[in-house]
Amino acid sequence: MPPTGEELLEMDNDKLSRFEKFRRETYKEIDDILDTSEQDSGTIEQLFDPPPTGGHAEVPVGHPVVDQPPSPGVDGGHFVVAGMILAIAGVETVRAIRHTVDKWKGRHHAGDR
Amino acid sequence: MPVTDKQVAALHALLTGNGAKNRQLVAELRSGDGGAGYSALVNAAFFEAVDRRFGKASTPASIIEYISDVRSRSDEIAEKVDPGVGERLIRKVLVGESTDDVDSRTSATVKLFVLAALVADENFGVAELDQFLAKVRKMADYLLRDE
């Protein structure tokens, strides 16, 4: 006695009865399955393409990436300029004080005469 | 007549993304009257792949979501996979829903695309794919046997 479908396919009765429904389609769709295989196997190949990796990040439309201007900050150049200004200001201050003192001394000596 | 090695080779080519080899073998099957065995293999493979993916736990939402995901993979695929038919064919495997009113071309096309997507998503190794094909070959032989 040949094995039953349940024994042959190791399916329970419910699953086997659902599978049996594909018997009619097997014969009904022969030409369509052959035609689709021949015509669409190139498109079906796309399902096996690896997902794109690496490359550049996608930019959503309407949100262009714009380089931001550098944020203001203090660098070495700023310290050099500030140092020079302070030095000039210092020299000028010393010169002005000396000039004032000399002027005062001159008046004082003139008063002595 | 039982399934032949050439019919299995044609399905193997389809399910490994080798479209050129699939086309060549299918043309040979057509001229040699091998269409029934190949159709039985596709139907058995579709049944088995759906049962593996959704058999243990599925909800109506997960079926809709999956078909939507398959269609999102390219515009050409979206054009070929009718979402309503895809969902109904999956429910036919899971709960025996009828698809008798669906025309055979649409049913065949959706079945082939969804089958390929399910197998691609399984990421089978060589041995696993061979096991899968051995199982569906036995199932296809059952569909072809005289009642």
DSSP letters, A33-94, are HHHHHHHHHHHHHGGGSPPP-SSPPP--TT----PPPPPP---HHHHHHHHHHHHHHHHHHH
Q: Does A30 touch chain B (CB under 8 A)?
A: yes
Q: Which of A18, A44, A45, A49 to mutate to test the interface with B (most CBs of B within 10 A)?
A: A44
Residue pLDDT, tens place only, B18-67:
999 999 999 999 988 899 999 999 999 999 999 999 998 889 999 999 99
Q: Of all helices (H) and strands (E), which one includes residue A14?
A: helix A13-28
Q: Which of A20, A24, A40, A49 to mutate to test the interface with B (most CBs of B within 10 A)?
A: A40
Say whether the ipTM exceeds 0.95.
Answer: no
Residue pLDDT, tens place only, A4-55:
766 777 888 999 999 999 999 999 999 999 999 999 999 999 999 877 665 4
Residues 31-90 of A with CB under 8 A from B: 31-38, 40-49
Phi, psi of B26 (to 5 degrees): -65, -40
Mapping DSSP to helix (H, G, I), strand (E, B) and coil, where does residue A69 land?
A: coil
Mean pLDDT of B112-129: 97
Residue of higher predicted confidence among A110 and B34? B34
What integer pLDDT is reported at residue B115 of this predicted model?
98
Residue of higher predicted confidence among A83 and B109? B109
Q: Which of A32-36, A90-94, B95-99 has the lowest mean pLDDT?
A: A90-94
Interchain contact, B104 vs A38, CB within 8 Å:
no
What integer pLDDT is reported at residue A59 of this predicted model?
45
What are the distances in angstroms from CA A4 to CA A11, A13, A26, A27, B128? 10, 11, 20, 22, 26
Q: What angle do CA A4, B57, B119 make, to 5 degrees?
A: 75
Q: Report pTM.
A: 0.75
